[in-house]
């Protein structure tokens, strides 16, 4: 029996030195093992070949069982380590774009205002989207499609049946899944060249400053004023532009707030949250299904403009869209010198 084991070990080592793969060497050793066991099953008791290879198949089967347990244990340990280890982020590629990317973004590249340099700036950009609901869903889809290199999305909610009337990034099969993971799956399926960072939690004072500091631009598609005011304060402190959108029934609005460039901040325009009942939520007042798509897509347009410098972003202005009557209007916005958030920047 010993000489057979030495033969197997010798073949394993020789195969390794010759560059044979592990599975190939295992297959060769397995053939020898199977041949020995077959000899014990076929030859009669007392046969010289049986005696020289252990006298019985039992020791070989016990050895095989022990090796099987060891291999299974190693595989379980490997899987546990893989689950415990943090997922490696897919880095945004450096250098020239691949042929596939050039074809994908060709309609951007031929635009005089964007071109290759503009598409490169999109690939290098990092954008944080607060909320993966009505406004966040289309904004995330178009940011990913446009080739924004790194997209963060933070939301503590899960997909519900009532969301699917307007939050088109999610599917019926996603009901019960955290919105950030549903959105991540949709964006990565749409464009494998972008990196998506999901944060399944609410934006709060504990993490807001550090999180916003990791990004170049923030889109706020939330439906509560506490989060809006927090996002505004943090963006002003960090000098980051904030694109804010809002919805109500048939009407939507959006603006770009960037006090570092001398324009007002969100709290300049809305000094205080409205009293309860004056600004009902979409669940209370209702909202037209396609309306978030219109306004969310406009937010993505503003993001592309801010990142690339194309055209004129909606800074110091608010765009209001009335879907019921098909009307769009813009109003000018002015900063408040006494604003508690950005007043010191203009003093």
Q: What are the pLDDT digits (tens) for 78-122?
A: 666 555 444 444 444 566 888 999 999 999 999 999 999 999 999
| Residue with the larger pLDDT of the pair 307 and 345 | 307
User: How would residue 343 be classed by pLDDT, with cut points 50, 70 and 90?
Assistant: confident
Locate 211 and state its tokens. Answer: 């999180």
Distance in angstroms (rounded) separating the CA atoms of residues 61 and 6: 17
Burial of 144 (0-12, 13-18, 19+ CB in 10 A): buried
Pairing of strands 251-257, 242-248: antiparallel
For residues 240 and 130, the answer to whether their CB atoms sit within 8 Å is no
Residue 82 confidence (pLDDT): 53
Question: Which pLDDT tens digit goes with each residue over 207-226?
Answer: 999 999 999 999 999 988 99
Question: Which pLDDT tens digit goes with each residue over 12-45?
Answer: 566 666 665 666 666 666 676 667 666 667 667 7
Q: What domains can be seen in the chain, in order of their start residue?
A: 2-84 (no CATH), 101-346 (3.40.50.720)
Residue 158 confidence (pLDDT): 96
Percent of the chain with pLDDT strictly greater than 70: 74
Distance in angstroms (rounded) separating the CA atoms of residues 198 and 219: 15
Distance in angstroms (rounded) separating the CA atoms of residues 338 and 317: 19
Q: What 3-state DSSP class applies to 340?
A: coil
For residues 296 and 245, the answer to whether their CB atoms sit within 8 Å is yes
The maximal CA–CA distance of the chain, rounded, in angstroms, is 104
Task: Return the H-helix or E-strand segment holding 128.
Answer: strand 126-130
For residues 110 and 155, the answer to whether their CB atoms sit within 8 Å is no
Task: Return the H-helix or E-strand segment holding 63.
Answer: helix 58-84
262-266, 268-272, 276-280, 324-328: range with lowest mean pLDDT: 276-280
Distance in angstroms (rounded) separating the CA atoms of residues 143 and 127: 9
Pairing of strands 126-130, 150-154: parallel
Residue 179 has pLDDT above 80, yes or no: yes
């Amino acid at each position: 029996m010993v000489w057979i084991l030495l033969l197997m070990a010798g073949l394993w080592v020789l195969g390794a030195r010759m560059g044979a793969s592990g599975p190939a060497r295992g297959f060769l050793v397995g053939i020898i093992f199977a041949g020995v066991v077959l000899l014990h099953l076929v030859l009669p008791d007392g046969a010289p070949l049986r005696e020289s290879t252990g006298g019985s198949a039992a020791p070989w089967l016990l050895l095989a069982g022990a090796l099987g347990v060891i291999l299974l244990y190693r595989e379980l340990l490997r899987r546990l380590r893989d689950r415990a280890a943090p997922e490696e982020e897919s880095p945004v590629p450096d250098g020239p774009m691949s042929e596939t990317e050039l074809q994908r973004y060709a309609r951007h590249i031929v635009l005089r205002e964007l071109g290759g340099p503009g598409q490169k700036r999109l690939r290098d950009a990092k954008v944080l989207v607060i909320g993966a609901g009505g406004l966040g869903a289309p904004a995330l889809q178009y940011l990913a499609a446009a080739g924004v290199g790194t997209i963060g999305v933070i939301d503590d909610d899960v997909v519900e049946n009532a969301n699917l009337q307007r939050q088109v990034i999610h599917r019926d099969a996603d009901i019960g899944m955290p919105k950030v993971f549903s959105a991540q799956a949709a964006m990565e399926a749409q464009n494998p060249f972008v990196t998506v960072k999901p944060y399944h939690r609410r934006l709060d004072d504990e993490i807001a400053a550090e999180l916003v500091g990791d990004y170049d631009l923030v889109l706020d598609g939330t439906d509560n004023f506490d989060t809006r005011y927090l996002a505004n304060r943090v963006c002003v402190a960090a000098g980051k532009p904030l694109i804010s959108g809002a919805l109500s029934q048939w009407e939507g609005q959006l603006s770009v707030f960037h006090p570092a460039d001398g324009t007002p901040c969100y709290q300049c325009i809305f000094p205080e949250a409205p009293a309860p009942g004056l600004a009902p939520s979409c669940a209370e007042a209702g909202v037209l299904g396609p309306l978030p798509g219109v306004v969310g897509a406009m937010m993505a347009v503003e993001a592309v403009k801010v990142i690339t410098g194309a055209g004129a972003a909606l800074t110091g202005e608010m765009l209001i869209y009335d879907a019921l009557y098909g009307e769009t209007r813009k109003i000018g916005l002015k900063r408040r010198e006494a604003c508690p958030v950005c007043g010191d920047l203009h003093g």
